[in-house]
Amino acid sequence: MTDQIRRVFAAIFLFSLTFALLPSFSKVNGSWPSPVRGKNGMVASQHELASQIGVDILKKGGNAVDAAVAVGLALAVVYPEAGNIGGGGFMLFRDKKGEFHAIDYREMAPGAASRDMFVDAKGDLIEGEGSSTVGYRASGVPGTLAGFELAFKKYGSGKVTWRQLVEPARLLAQNGYVLSNRLAELFVEYKDTLERYPESNRIFLRDGKYFKEGDTLKQPELAVTLGRIARLGASDFYSGQTAKLIAADMKANGGLITEQDLKNYVAKERQPLHGNYRGHEIVSMPPPSSGGMVMFETLNILEGYDMRALGSNSAAKYHLYVEASRRAFADRSEYMADPDFAEVPIAKLIYKNYAKERRSTILANKATPSRDVKFGTVGGREPMETTHYTIADKDGMIVANTYTINDLYGSRVTIKGTGILMNDEMDDLAARPGRPNLFGLVQGERNKVEPKKRPLSSMTPTIVTRKDGSTWFALGARGGPRIISAVMQSIINVIDYDMNILEAISAPRMHHQWLPDSIMWESNGISPDTMAIMRGYGHIFNDNSGNVASATGIMFDEKGVRLGAIDPRSDGKAIGY
């Protein structure tokens, strides 16, 4: 087994440890558990404390964007494996006028980044320190604070201040919060890499005196950093004292991010990507997110079949889903990249007639080996760890925000004097084009490492409307490329199988990403009979089952009541009022 293959399997194993065992999907007392209800507002995030902070902001008169900023900053404290100010992401929202907006605050490669910076003299990927996944060189320039400030200044309510949004997170860092068993154990599971970096070892591992359930985690350095950010805004992070501390620690440890890199960072507004599935408008993120494109292409292919008649858990349904997804991920590998660096033929990839061509290659009872599935022809010019939260306010504004530091605990590096845990997003660029990254995804030359490039992402914040154009539900997920599968299958569950938002995100899922040519499956939801039939078609299943991401969503019922849902595969809480 090669080092690269070991690396991929190790990543998959470690990622699977982050989720609780899948729950039974049986009904309780004859009916499914109900989503949380709220007449005026709803916040659904991966931590109860963060969700409550969001609700508090809504009650003070803030809108969903204001609450999204406060929740994101709080998660940087209470959900350190994924919540962040040292990473980046995407915010998609629909305002109270019904207009859609997308903010890209994805990380950017440092100015000194180069195509072959993560390969050795033999052309092999560097492992450990100096690689694209661990250590100071693995980090892209963070975008979270720039994105949050852009959203707040342009789309906030004007009824709460920036300081009011930051202060709850600062207090959590200063005073601490009680650790769950999951988080205490997760620190220990990642000790082999966290302990390599003195600040991470001290803060999260207590220099070997490991945290236990019920202990209180205080982060005084992060509290001081958040205090500066509360007073000075995002400028402190990009050109103030925090920027100097980041650049100094990077320089002292062989990292690439400089003060100039931080000054050069820009969050961008982009045009949301619009699609349609069975008469419902679906809105998602454009590149450098690949999620929207893969989702729309897959749904366009599936629209040619009567999915409802096949049944939600049938082998026939999963066969078609896997085949459609296989083709969309093959196109992802070839065509997707940062649109500021490469021409991305997105309009053609999500064109209904293109899906018809791809659909024509699918056989009813036979899997197509991935070696035989190539990317489609779209010639001519155009006319991964992660957390998601969803927020709806009293005026109908809804926000779907997904942000990440990539792998759990990112690069494992905490910047000295700041408490900031940094991302390892350089791995989402193609460290070696044509070879798999941390999540087993193969990416092409378009996504090669280049200065200031934004890494390709699988984050898929999405909003779906009813046929009359009113907002129906919004959702997103955490889990690398499996995010796309979780969001797509949840949408199918609502539209084709009449599930509510909690049922939709709780139901069992499969995942196929073209390469490797195998299906990830969920043991407590996929029956042996279904798998046997699919194996008869020629499908290959992973030897071990695992969770296919973890989703979070909010739905509006016919009376406008907000229905919040947290995936039972993970923790967190939906709180309404």
CA dihedral 386, 390, 391, 395 (to 10 degrees): 140
Residue 105 token pair: 């605050």
Q: Do you know the residue count of the chain? A: 577
Q: Which of 242, 258, 368, 386 is catalytic?
A: 386
Residue that the structure tokens 């858990």 belong to = 313
173 within 8 A of 81, measured Cβ to Cβ:
no
**Helices assigned H by DSSP within 79-219:** 144-155, 162-175, 181-189, 191-194, 198-205
At a CB cut-off of 8 Å and minimum separation 6, what does 125 contact? 3, 4, 7, 118, 119, 131, 132, 431, 432, 435
To the nearest 10 degrees (0 to 180), the angle between helices 220-232 and 241-252 is 130
- 3-state SS record for 494-518: HHHHCCCHHHHHHCCCEECCCCCCC
Determine how many CB atoms are found less than 10 A away from the CB of residue 575: 21
Closest CA to 166 of 228, 94, 210: 228
Burial of 124 (0-12, 13-18, 19+ CB in 10 A): middle
First-to-last CA distance in the chain?
A: 54
Element (H, E) at 399: strand 398-404
Query: Which SS3 state, helix, strand or coil, does residue 90 take?
Result: strand
| 499, amino acid identity | M
278 within 8 A of 467, measured Cβ to Cβ:
no
Residue 295 token pair: 């989702």
Task: Tell me if residue 386 is catalytic.
Answer: yes
Catalytic residues, which ones? 386
